[in-house]
Structure 1
Amino acid sequence: MWPVIPSQAEATCREGGAIAFALPDPATEFGARVARRLHSEPLAWLTTVDGAGTPQPAPVWFLWDDASNSALIYSHGEAKRLDHLRANPRVALNLDGDGTGGDIVVLTGEAVVAPDEPSADRNPAYLDKYGTRIREGWETPQNFASIYSVPLRFRPRRVRGH
C-alpha cells in the first residue's frame, strides 16, 4: 500500500492558514529517502496532460530547492509540454524506482513557466549538478541554454510512495 503523506500545507489549510508545501518528515525513513533523492537523482519524469486528457510523461533534469520546496526544470523551447502547462498546470513528477517496484516517489502539484529564473548557463547550482552532462551532449552550457530555454517551476502539493 502506498502511503499518501499529507503535507503540512494540507494541515495548515484545514486550520485556515496559508498554503505551503513541506516534504515528509526527514526523521522518517520515507522522508529521508525523499529528501536525499530529490537532491541526488539526475532524472525525473514530468507528466503533463494534453488537450485530449492523455497523460504525457517525459524525462527531465531538475534542481530541487529546499528554500522554496520546489524544483526548477529547463524545458526545450518547442516542447509540447509548454502548451499542456498553459492549459493545465497540474502535473506529476516521478522519480524512478529501484527496478523491483520499490523506492517509489511521486510528487503531484503544479508547474508553470518561470521567466524570472536565470537561464541554465547562468545557474551555478544547475551547472554543478549537470555541467558534465551538458558539456558531453551540447559542448557548452550556452548551447544547452539556447535549446532548453524555458525555465519551469514545479511546486508540489502532495507526495506519496514507498
Structure 2
Amino acid sequence: MATIPEKFDPLIASAVYVWCTTVRPDGTPHTTPIWFIRDGGSFYFYTIPGSQKVRNLAANPHISLSFAADHEGEEFFVVEGTAAVDDSLPKPHLNDAYMAKYRSAPYMIEATPEKYSLRFSLPVRVTPTRVRGID
C-alpha cells in the first residue's frame, strides 16, 4: 500500500468530493464525482449496486481518485489504487464519520440519510498503490 504524504492531509480534509475514474471493459475511462471518507491509509465510498462504476471495478479493480483544491490546478494529487467491496462497513446512515461529513449535503437533505442508504448501499474501499501530485 502506498503512503499518502502528510502535505496532502489538508486537501483531503477539505475535499467534499473527489473525481473517481474506473476503466470500462473497452478500455475507456469512466469518471464520476463521489463522496468519500479517508480511513487511515485507505479511502472508502458508497455507490449504487450495478452502476457502471461497479461493473467496471468487477472487471478491473484499478481506480484513481483525483483531488484538486483550486480551479487553477496549482494544488492537486491523484491516488491510484485497487478497489474492492468492503462489507465490514456499516450502511451510510449508520456510519458516524460519513454522516458527520455529508448529513447536511443537499442530496442527503432531499433524500434523507435512510433513503440515501437504500440507493447507495454498496461500500467500496480503495487501497492506494501510488500517489502523485504537485510537490
Does the Cα contact within 8 Å between 1:97 and 1:105 map onto a contact in 2? no
Does the Cα contact within 8 Å between 1:46 and 1:92 map onto a contact in 2? yes
Please state how far the C-alpha of 1:79 moved relative to its aligned partner: 1.2
TM-score (norm 2): 0.92
Give secondary structure in 1 for the equivalent of 2:103. helix
Moved over 6 A (4+): none
Higher relative contact order (CA 8 A, sep 6+): 2
Q: Which whole-Å CA distance do the structure 2 matches of 1:89 and 1:106 have between them?
A: 16
Q: Which whole-Å CA distance do the structure 2 matches of 1:71 and 1:39 have between them?
A: 12
* Match among 62, 67, 70 for residue 95 of structure 1: 67
Q: How does 1:20-59 map to 2 (within 5 A)?
A: 20-24=1-5, 26=6, 31=7, 34-59=8-33
Q: Which amino acid aligns with 2:66?
A: N
Give secondary structure in 2 for the equivalent of 1:132. coil
In percent, how many aligned pairs have the same letter?
32
Between Structure 1 and Structure 2, which shows a larger proportion of strand residues? 2
Q: 1:103-159, CA deviations, whole angstroms, 9 ceiling, x for partnerless residues?
A: 111110011111221110110010000001154231x21100000010000111111
Number of equivalenced pairs? 133
TM-score (norm 1): 0.78
Please state how far the C-alpha of 1:76 moved relative to its aligned partner: 1.5
Q: Which amino acid aligns with 2:42?
A: S
Does the Cα contact within 8 Å between 1:39 and 1:63 map onto a contact in 2? no
Give secondary structure in 2 for the equivalent of 1:157. strand
* Match among 114, 136, 154 for residue 109 of structure 2: 136
Does the Cα contact within 8 Å between 1:110 and 1:156 map onto a contact in 2? yes
Unaligned runs of 5+ in 2: none
